[in-house]
Structure 1
Amino acid sequence: MTSRAAAADRTAGPRPRRTLQLLADRDFGGLFWGKLVSIVGIWAFSVATAIAVFDATGSTLAVGVVAGAQFVPQLVLAPASGSWADRGDPRRQIVLGRILCLAGTGALAAWVHLAAPTGWTLAGGVLVGSLTVGLGFAVGGPAMQSVVPRLVTRDELPRAMGLNTAPMTVARVTGPVVGAALVAAVGPAAGIGVAALGQLVFLVLLGVVRIPAAAPRDRDTDYSIRAAWQHVRADKGLLLLLLVVTGVTFGAEPSITLAPALAADMGGGPALVGALTATFGGGAAAGLLVLSWFGRPERTVTMVAVGLGALTGGMALAAALGWVAAALTGFAIAGAGFTIGLTSLSTAVLLRVPEHLRGRVMAFWMICFVGFRPVASALVGTVSDAASARWAIAATVVVTAVATAAVVRYRALVRR
């Protein structure tokens, strides 16, 4: 079957496929399972390298630098990568991105195992490996996001985008456990090496995925980054949606950056930190179920508002009450809101953007979501050090509350 015939079959389907049907689909399912294995490996890599660098240097700053190195290439190169996705071959781009991730993780694992570096030498090698992994995500990320609408029908898109978020949610919970366990049982090289294995599995699965061809390119169409930015600026609704993505980034940051400080404020230790993080992840998984039941194209903006409202309310509960039960409940509600809000935002953006702009606009989406994470973590960390973790969470609540109000306003304008 040709790629265009496969696309026609999807369009002609009498009813949207359910979740299990999408997961079993050769094309969408292949991409989904490949992403899941790959991202679990990357989270394991992040934890394994953090443990190794801290043990080698005793420096929290060094850990922060090597962790942040993954985001630098995405912040700098994502727009150019998005332009490439719109004018080139997305499969080739995704493959190249995975090869870069495989090279960064595999070479680092082999070096750590064979050379057994110590001290700042180890930290320097991890920095290079993290930059290479970040480069891989910067190259392949926009293409991977932009091809999802080609694999499903319009009516299936909300459910597909929910599933597209699932690997990140699952990996956030399981990846750190895998990485820490391997470091403890075998050593850091094993924790890093499992990430390389994940990239290799993804490349194998990607080999069976059929990505339908895009519409023929119009020679008069401008495929530059500047043209995409002009489109975003002219479409105030699209610009607002991208800004709201930044709000979601701030709203979710306490689940990572502030969990240790919040646990300490409540008299807890590492077990409570793990409980807070796992509860947020469990809520995020529950949010995927909500989207599978209620996600429809016509409800997308409403679900954005619902998700942001839950993210705001959950974190407000955790900030307002200094009880462990309240914090766990708040993190669970916020986790569900995070998944509902972020997934629905992604769907709203894709539904609003013409096909020839999807790669570049999703690159802007990546900058708003991933690129602003270092900024968000630095700001909430500063507030936490100056005041307390609960005040820092309250600051993120203000940001998400403003974002929620903006979405409600946007929804009212769309209905007119």
Structure 2
Amino acid sequence: MHGPWCPVTEHHPDSAETSDSAGSSPSGLRTLLPDLAPLRTSADFRRMWIAGLITSFGGFLTFVAVPLQLKELTGSALAVGATGAVELVPLIVFGLYGGALADAMDRRKLILWTEAGLGVLSALLLLNSVLPHPLIWPMYVVVALVSALTGLQRPALQAIVPRVVAHEQLPAAIALNSMRWQAGAIAGPSVAGLVVAFGGLELAYLLDVLSFLASLALCLRLAPSPASHDAEKPSLAGIVEGARYAWSRKELLGTYAVDMAAMFFAYPAAIFPFLADDLHAPWALGLMYSAGAVGSLAVTLTSGWVSRIHRHGRMVVLAAAGWGAAMAVAGLLHNVWLVLLFLAVAGGCDTVSGLFRSAIWDQTIPDALRGRLAGIELLSYSVGPQLGQVRAGGMASLTNARMSVWSGGLACLASVGLLAACLPKLLSYDQRTDEHAARMRAARSADRVAEAA
């Protein structure tokens, strides 16, 4: 299952936060290994996880092929960079509408139809690539349509997980999905580069189309996931209702605000080429792009502790602060290997923050609102990095790349601290005692009793 040619999604244990019944907890290495319970107990989650693993590689093939083809056709960096501009607005608009759709219709059907549409769009790229003279303008149209379909699909993908995974297994499921994404983010670009280099753009697009067919075959076996009986038709009023609910839940509002602040101030990917030049290490550019994914994968491969943490809001704040601090240090260092190390640390912190943000969302949001809130969450993790790249590039043009990185990291630290002070409910959130989490646990228990009867 794809984003705009990237797989979905989308991100420190404290001894005082662990389970009270320590004697019953696993010990040794098992406390660090990922909890595989969702894969063992839920056939639908297993199918979705495998489908996502397959399509992550297909997505990265097209992620590499599209800018390379535009570069070959135009020779213009501006033409390549314009793909980001045509993606943003459709992702925002259709992400909000997709959230409303996910609450109003069968989520399985929404996933299937959008997945089929994304496969057709990849097929159009394949057809264009085999023309004697490939056209440029259809590529931008396809980029925009892919972004729109991604916005429609992602809320349904996120909202369906709490229906197919037991309530207490949701943190483990989030960690497994993150691990799948990070594995693709590390291996995918390397495989894509080899395919494009030795097989050409046409083979890359063809393999992406085939990955969609495999994904559809798996998703066809998912159980129906209909809307609740009292669900309303998607409307602007429904979207506003979701926004009002998010505003009323200050701990939810805090997760959105902290993530956007962290990404806006301390997301420097756009200036990595300039940072590599400043460090006299142009050879390290690819490593800079993959360092964060390496840190993220290290976290998810040792994510067994996630299910034993209860103060999720505190972890969101601490991890976001860690992201900013690591970026600040990376900007101040002169040794490229140490820079790469702290970029990896930053990626790990970002994943910790993402795991616990998702846990708060999945364990407390009512099912009838889950799609619309997923649409709002889509905005928080898509708009922040986009604007962050503008900030990083603008700051680097006024000063230099290294100052842009370390000043952004310090600004992230300050903004996260200010938000935590202004939103105390985020810091005090405890999934054992939170009223919304307790209500969701009771609802899931009632559903199981009803199904058993």
For 2:391 and 2:34, the matched residues in 1 are separated by: 41
Match for residue 50 of structure 1? 67
1:237 aligns with 2:251: yes
1:41 aligns with 2:55: no
Q: Distance in 2 between matches of 1:395 and 1:34?
A: 40
Contact 2:35 2:303 in 1 (8 A): no
The one-letter code sitting in structure 2 at the alignment partner of 1:250 is F
Task: Give the 3-state SS of the residue equivalent to 1:147 in structure 2.
Answer: helix
Q: Deviations over 1:56-95 (max 9, x none)?
A: 1111111111244333321111111111111111011111
Separation (CA, whole Å) in 2 of partners of 1:220 and 1:72: 23
Question: What are the Cα deviations for residues 349-372 of structure 1, in whole angstroms up to 9, with x where unaligned?
Answer: 222322111100110000111133
| Residue matched to 1:86 | 103
Does 1:159 pair with 2:176? no
The correspondence of residues 133-148 of structure 1 with structure 2, limited to 5 A, is 133-148=146-161
Q: Which amino acid aligns with 1:102?
A: G
Give the distance between the partners of 1:103 and 1:220, measured in 2 at CA: 27
Map 1:314-329 to 2 at 5 A: 314-329=326-341
Higher mean displacement: 217-226 or 280-289: 217-226
* Amino acid corresponding to residue 229 of structure 1 in structure 2: A
Deviation by residue 1:240-281 (Cα, 9 ceiling, x = unmatched):
211122134336632x32322211111112x30122222221
Cα 1:195–1:287 change in 2 (3 A) is same
Q: Structure 2 stretches of 5 or more lacking a match?
A: 1-24, 27-32, 434-453
Report the secondary structure of 2:36's partner residue: helix
**Partner in structure 1 of residue 187 of structure 2:** 174
State which of 351, 359, 369 in structure 2 corresponds to 1:347.
Answer: 359
The residue aligned with 1:389 is 401
- Choose the corresponding residue for 2:38, options 10, 22, 25: 22
Q: Partners of 2:205 and 2:265 in 1: how far apart? A: 29
Contact 2:34–2:176 (Cα < 8 Å) also in 1: no
Match of 1:4 in 2: none
Code of the residue aligned with 1:136 in structure 2: it is: L
C-alpha distance in structure 2 between counterparts of 1:134 and 1:205, whole Å:
23
- The 5-angstrom pairing of residues 17-416 of structure 1 reads 19-24=35-40, 25-113=42-130, 115-118=131-134, 121=135, 123-210=136-223, 215-217=228-230, 224-250=238-264, 253-254=267-268, 256-269=269-282, 271-296=283-308, 298-405=310-417, 406-407=419-420, 409-414=424-429
* In 2: Cα distance, 1:200 partner to 1:403 partner: 44
Range that drifts further, 337-346 or 273-282: 273-282
Counterparts in 2 of 1:370 and 1:39: CA distance versus 1, 3 Å: farther
Alpha-carbon distance in 1 for matches of 2:86, 2:182:
21
**Cα gap change, 1:232 to 1:412, in 2 (>3 Å):** closer
Q: Distance in 2 between matches of 1:220 and 1:374?
A: 31
**1:32-58 deviation per Cα after TM superposition (whole angstroms, max 9, x unaligned):** 121222233222212111111112111
- Answer yes or no: is the 8 Å Cα contact 1:313–1:333 preserved in 2: no
SS of the residue aligned with 2:194? helix
TM-fit CA distance, 1:99: 1.3
Could you tell me whether the CA contact under 8 Å between 1:145 and 1:362 is conserved in 2?
yes
Provide the rounded CA distance (Å) in 2 between the counterparts of 1:403 and 1:156: 32
Q: How does the TM-score come out when normalised to structure 1?
A: 0.87
The 1-side partners of 2:71 and 2:336 are apart by: 29
**Residue deviations 1:304-361 (CA, integer Å, cap 9, x gap):** 2332133122212101112112201101111111111112112212223221111001
Unaligned runs of 5+ in 1: 1-14
Q: C-alpha distance in 1, partners of 2:60/2:329?
A: 28
Q: In 2, Cα distance between the equivalents of 1:412 and 1:52?
A: 47
Q: Distance in 2 between matches of 1:163 and 1:404?
A: 27
Give the deviation of 1:373 after TM superposition: 3.0
TM normalised by structure 2 equals 0.80
Partners in 2 of 1:345 and 1:124 — Cα distance?
A: 38
> Letter of the aligned partner of 1:129 in structure 2?
V
Q: Percentage identity across aligned positions?
A: 23
8 Å Cα contact 1:291/1:340 also seen in 2: no
How much does 1:20 deviate?
3.0
User: Greater CA deviation, 301-310 or 374-383?
Assistant: 301-310
Cα distance in 2 for partners of 1:362, 1:143 equals: 8
Q: 1:201 to 1:371 in 2, by over 3 A?
A: farther
| CA 1:412–1:242: 2 relative to 1, 3 Å | closer
Report the counterpart of residue 7 of structure 1 in structure 2. Answer: none
Indicate how the Cα distance of structure 1 residues 407 and 170 shifts in structure 2: closer, same or farther if over 3 A, else same: farther
> Which amino acid is 2:323 matched to?
L
